[in-house]
Structure 1
Amino acid sequence: MRGNSTDDDADTGSLAEGRKLLEILNVRVVGNGEKVVVLSHGFGTDQSAWNRIVPYLQRDHRIVLYDLVCAGSVNPDHFDFRRYTTLDAYVDDLLLILESLGVDRCFFVGHSVSAMIGVLASIRRPDLFLKLVLIGASPRFLNDGDYHGGFERGEIERVFEAMECNYEAWVRGFAPLSVGADVPAAVREFSRTLFNMRPDISLFVSRTVFNSDLRGVLGLVRVPCCIVQTARDVSVPLSVATHLKAHLGGRTTIEILHTEGHLPHLSAPALLAPVIRRAIMRT
């Protein structure tokens, strides 16, 4: 009886932890349909980045939206600098969200860093994921020998220095560069969510992301993947998409969007949404 009581206490604690996390990360479920699609945003944005994508999916799917703990829409007191030193803690959050919502199978759409969070989550729990749609994904942003990630170490260090020196000025330069395409509304939206982030959290997360190297685990992925990449992305060169396709363990396809920039869900939703729909229909 004692053991059963302990198990019950653990289950109750886990449920309470899950409910708390759903509240902290502003988890929402919208739309109809049996198939579940999880939309997970990238660095510098929050779940509002998917606002122009949701209408294309919600009629036929149940959509789970949430904010990463580093997002400006989340109370910064919940960001634990000791815990979120690697992407594994973000994976823990994602898996607890799915468990708390009772989701046992889903399609996962992740942008940028969230694409790699999805990759890691699928390695840990392949049974949960029907397919990964990886938008602007990169297992490593730094160049390394024959691997072209897009950035030299010195370039990244200068970015960190600029963020630390004058965050507002850095945002004003970084936002249009990342959006790439000439879409002023997308630049304004990305700037807004970047400004919402506390600068020290933004810098810390940037360091975590740019110092990550997940190339070694790609072969452990068994879930089908669709890599979505714009024709010109200042953050992720096309060679990275090719590397992912060559090294991901699951069946993998690449979709090239004929537009520019790292945030097509903000700058070209009408191009991106049909690609996502096709990807989640072809399991």
Structure 2
Amino acid sequence: MVTPEKKNLSTALNARTIQSSSLGTETIILCHGFGTDQSIWDKIIPLLLAENYSIVLFDWPFSGAVEDKSLYEHSKYTSSFESYADAFITVMDEMGLKDIIFVGHSMAAMIGCIASTQRPNLFKKLVLLCASPRYINDEDYEGGFEREDVEQLISTIEVQFEDWVSAYAPIAVGPNDSDAVDKFGSCLKNMGAQVAVSLAKTVFHSDNRKILQNVETPCTIIQSSNDAAIPVSVGHYLERMIKGVSALKFIDMTGHFPQLTAPHKLAQLLKAVVEFGHPQI
């Protein structure tokens, strides 16, 4: 059963709740990351519904799936993730949700961390999936990119968008799953070049390390063992720096999208988070 939400921002961002025939006792919200939309979770939704969880999804304003393109205000969303956290809190309030299990992929993980410091009652647990607080290397911090690499990346998106999508999608997803690569590439193209440039600047220039010391909601950090965008050291950094209780788990896989290329492994970990508070497998 799919229940669309009929209120304001949640409607504009395609928010919806999916429930199995048996009403679930736990609510999991799946938040997509850079360049995608809620359809990125299509493979994992049936696996979670089989456990009788209630699933909540929505699209961020930058998503190509959002019809009202004016919702992505460049001046509002390019400075930091704070505006995204505000939008998330608004959607949750409109849907009347609290005590959720938040699963944030990529940039959405840091948005969830920020929102948890502002409205902790909304969250029961945080799952940070392929998350990074900062992508640019900084002294003894390994983010994975030099600043000049990021500037070159942004320049390529700006002047060679189609070529960049074709090259970046298999790097991000992993080259051995053509359907998943096509899925991510299609989402990137739907987002469009102008938004992609703006969003890339926001994401790759972001530095959310300081927020980690304020995150008290219990966290499970799930990282890919071979992610071109995020070194394994970032997972250990998150576990070390988050103030509250945290646990780190690596999925043995290549790429940045376990929901596309390792959905069964990810669903197993999420079930463990729901039942035990952290993976015990």
How high is the TM-score relative to the length of structure 2?
A: 0.92
Is the 1:46–1:72 contact (alpha carbons within 8 Å) kept by the matching residues of 2?
A: yes
- Paired residues in the alignment total 266
Question: Which one of the candidate residues 76, 79, 84 is aligned to 1:83?
Answer: 76
Distance 2:170 2:266 in 1: 19
The CA deviation at 1:282 is 2.0
CA shift in 2, pair 1:181/1:278, >3 Å = farther
Question: Which one of the candidate residues 186, 197, 208 is aligned to 2:191?
Answer: 197
Q: Which runs of 5+ in 1 are unaligned?
A: 1-17
Q: SS of 2:75's equivalent?
A: coil
Question: Deviations for 1:212-271, whole angstroms, at most 9, x for unmatched residues?
Answer: 111111010101100001110000000000100000011111111011100111111112
Distance 2:8 2:196 in 1: 23
Question: Deviations for 1:104-154, whole angstroms, at most 9, x for unmatched residues?
Answer: 210000000000011111111112111101111000000000000000000
Is the 1:181–1:259 contact (alpha carbons within 8 Å) kept by the matching residues of 2?
A: no
1:8 counterpart residue number: none
1:222 counterpart residue number: 216
1:4 counterpart residue number: none
Q: State the one-letter code of the partner of 2:18.
A: V
- Among the aligned pairs, what percent are the same residue? 38
Structure showing greater Rg: 1
Question: Which one of the candidate residues 221, 238, 241 is aligned to 1:247?
Answer: 241
Is the 2:175–2:181 contact (alpha carbons within 8 Å) kept by the matching residues of 1?
A: no
Q: State the one-letter code of the partner of 1:89.
A: S
How high is the TM-score relative to the length of structure 1?
A: 0.92
Question: Which one of the candidate residues 44, 52, 55 is aligned to 2:43?
Answer: 52
Question: Which one of the candidate residues 84, 87, 93 is aligned to 2:87?
Answer: 93
Distance 2:265 2:175 in 1: 13
Is the 1:142–1:153 contact (alpha carbons within 8 Å) kept by the matching residues of 2?
A: yes
C-alpha RMSD of matched pairs (Å)? 1.1
Is 1:182 the equivalent of 2:145?
no
Distance 1:200 1:249 in 2: 37
Distance 1:98 1:196 in 2: 25
Q: SS of 1:83's equivalent?
A: helix
Runs of 4 or more, structure 1, over 6 Å off, are none
The CA deviation at 1:101 is 1.0
Question: Deviations for 1:159-192, whole angstroms, at most 9, x for unmatched residues?
Answer: 0111011100000000000012511110010011
